[in-house]
Structure 1
Amino acid sequence: MTGGTPTPRKATRRDVARLAGVSDAVVSYTLNGTAPVAATTAERVLAAVEQLGYRPNQAARALRSGSADTLAFLVPSSSDPVFTNPFFGEYASTLEAAARDRGYALYTTATSFHPDEVLARFREFAARQIDGVLVLAGDTPLDSTALDRVGLPWIALNVATRERGVASLGTDLRAGAVATTTHLLEHGHGSVGFVGQDDPSEPRYIGWLQACAAAGVPAGPFVAAEVTRPGGRDAGHRIVDDRAADPGRAPRAFFVASDRTAVGVLRAFHERGIRVPEDIAIASFDGSSEAEYAWPGLTTFRQPVDEMARSAVTRLLATDRDHAHELFPGELVLRRSCGCPDAGR
């Protein structure tokens, strides 16, 4: 014979109905909002729920309705986690708020973006009655045909260029790079360098080249850097070394492909006694909170995360599915790193 106090039985919907003096259906209508219920009746039901500590069985409800009222946010896993980048942390927060406004929870999970692994996660989501998947696109192409066969609606985020057959959205990176580089040139610099990934097809790289060409100034130098703080710091030290080796040819301004990389560049400059913007001006991309609280404050091209999050959730839950690519404009936020007075934003 074992001792101890028996675990109390969980309250059921029928218990709530009995205490409130209503039918089981009225309890469901009150809690789910699926049919109108008189205000006084709803008050009795909610009082009974609180008194009994009733919690609906969401798993059973999902099985009955075919919906868990939950969306999945799938992000790439790597040695440099996505959420160490403040921009993507803020993006996830706005997605969660947009989902909640529509009555959905948001489940965030990371995976390798190997096609077989992504497909396995989609099948897992379908088995759990997840209602749709928001995919933070990585460097590995998605097998859209295989994913569509799973039957879940999904949309790819952070996408710069359209891919046929994929619902997607992102910021106009090329236009943002043009605007940011052009602003640096308007400060009178004879050339503007670029710090970013070594990929000539990358829209920010293309935009930088286009802005320099339009102004009739030489583009360069290009300084390859990983999109990380350490990558930016390493790039910053190389910039200072090159400047010391040939002071006459060293540019006095750089466009940096991300805020996170720019913070690393700033640290390298501080370590080597380079003043920003007096010796070298910089501007970056993303518009994260990290840019605002860097020293000096970073001029940055802000991605419209609120608008993108709301659109992503709306399109994911729409009855009529589309495979359109939605491109959003951003906003150049001026601070002291480029030579402008810090507006404090």
Structure 2
Amino acid sequence: MPRRPTIKDIARRAGVSESAVSFALNGRPGVSAQTRDRIRTVAEELGWRANSAARALSGERAGAVGLVLARPAATLGVESFFLQLVAGIQEVLAARATALLFQVTGDPAEELAAYRRWWAERRVDGVLVVDPRTEDPRRALLGSLGLPAVFVGGTPEAAGPSCVWADDAEAMTRILDHLHGLGHRRIGHVAGLPGLAHTERRIRSLRAGAERYGLGPDAVRSVVTDYSDTAGAEATRLLLDGPRPPTALVYDNDVMAVAGLGVAAGRGIAVPERLSVVAWDDSPLCRVTHPRLTALVRDTPGFGRLAAQALLDLLAGGPPRALEGERPRLEPRESTAPPPRAY
């Protein structure tokens, strides 16, 4: 394999000392502007890059930030939300020549272990923390390690002062207002993972809205899942097989909503004539199904960009900030309509 260029190679090619190369590449005084430019040109020609491990050992930044996802790996390939979120994050990091160290773990304990390992090895300068939980040990751990962090999706009350968040409660209220306005009085909710703060916020908001409208205690029902199409289909069957099946279903992602359409079609339940369907996250999947799915439209890549910039600002010495992302809007399409009169 070709040998990686070293500072010695740059010094030989540029005709300067190794210490001059070190000063120039690390932005330190001690060389003239002309010499600095020549050294950097030679380094670029040779394809030299700083050794991140050596920089970390010397106390310099690692030039990378971390992101751990403690979710079933099988769900990542079909869920568009995280793909769009990471795309937005990477857009900002790439512009600042900062790498993204991404890891998928089997459970929350492995996620905590990853943070400890990254901190001990000085692999990252800070982390983006997704899926804030109702009882979240990560905030205390990261604080004890002194590892800068921005929580993505957690409200300031739950995640602390360094976060970017979205108003899930208001979004669920918009969905409920739309369905109630159409005449629906029994609404099922196929929710995401239990224990996640945004899952709990959505469930509470749905219940509070039902109470506000004077609906009975059995008017709304939420079933938690792992976000997969299989779990979404199972939850749909569970809700439709109840003694008083809902006339509308709200799904916490697009994949489960499409799976729900398949269950309804298999049972001969026409959408939206007999059952209305709403997807939490809009995606091309929602727009190519038949009927097209009513969905919440939001700028997910923009949410990722906001999170990445917040972490970079924190690493640059800025204060912790709680930033709210762009509020989603509901896009009514052909999958929602008034319920049958018999209901």
TM-score interval (norm. to shorter): 0.7 to 0.9
In structure 2, the residue matched to 1:85 is 79
Equivalent residue for 1:204, pick from 202, 205, 210: 202
Q: Write the deviation string for residues 239-288 of structure 1: whole angstroms up to 9, x where unpaired.
A: 4445xxx7xx6543222233232122111112222222222111121334
Would you say 1:222 and 2:221 are equivalent positions? yes
In structure 1, the residue matched to 2:236 is 236
User: Gaps spanning 5+ residues in structure 2: where?
Assistant: 339-343
Correspondences of 1:1-345 after superposition (within 5 Å): 9-21=3-15, 42=37, 48-49=42-43, 51-78=45-72, 81-82=75-76, 84-114=78-108, 117-129=110-122, 130-137=124-131, 139=133, 141-160=136-155, 162-163=157-158, 165=160, 167-196=162-191, 202-218=200-216, 220-222=219-221, 224-226=223-225, 227-242=227-242, 250-317=245-312, 318=314, 319-322=317-320, 325-328=322-325, 329-339=327-337
Q: CA deviation at 1:37?
A: 8.4
Higher relative contact order, structure no. (Cα contacts within 8 Å, ≥ 6 residues apart): 2
Task: Please tell me the residue identity of whatever aligns with 1:333.
Answer: E
67-76 or 183-192, larger mean C-alpha shift = 183-192
**Distance of 2:28 and 2:282 partners within structure 1:** 41
User: Gaps spanning 5+ residues in structure 1: where?
Assistant: 1-6, 341-345
Q: Write the deviation string for residues 49-72 of structure 1: whole angstroms up to 9, x where unpaired.
A: 465444443332333352111000
Q: Write the deviation string for residues 269-325 of structure 1: whole angstroms up to 9, x where unpaired.
A: 122222222221111213344433443322222344234323322332321443x55
Q: Cα gap change, 1:33/1:82 in structure 2, threshold over 3 Å: closer, same or farther?
A: farther
Preserved contact between residue 185 and residue 219 of structure 2 (Cα < 8 Å): no
Q: Cα gap change, 1:25/1:100 in structure 2, threshold over 3 Å: closer, same or farther?
A: farther
**Distance of 2:185 and 2:32 partners within structure 1:** 70
Q: Write the deviation string for residues 213-237 of structure 1: whole angstroms up to 9, x where unpaired.
A: 4444456242524132112212333
Q: CA deviation at 1:174?
A: 0.9
Preserved contact between residue 239 and residue 246 of structure 2 (Cα < 8 Å): no
Identity of aligned residues (%): 27
Preserved contact between residue 236 and residue 266 of structure 1 (Cα < 8 Å): no
Task: Please tell me the residue identity of whatever aligns with 2:113.
Answer: A
How many residues were matched structurally? 326
**Distance of 1:21 and 1:221 partners within structure 2:** 76
Preserved contact between residue 13 and residue 56 of structure 1 (Cα < 8 Å): no
Task: Please tell me the residue identity of whatever aligns with 1:124.
Answer: R
Q: CA deviation at 1:176?
A: 0.5
Task: Please tell me the residue identity of whatever aligns with 1:210.
Answer: A
TM-score, length-scaled by structure 1: 0.77
Task: Please tell me the residue identity of whatever aligns with 2:62.
Answer: A
Q: Cα gap change, 1:205/1:8 in structure 2, threshold over 3 Å: closer, same or farther?
A: closer
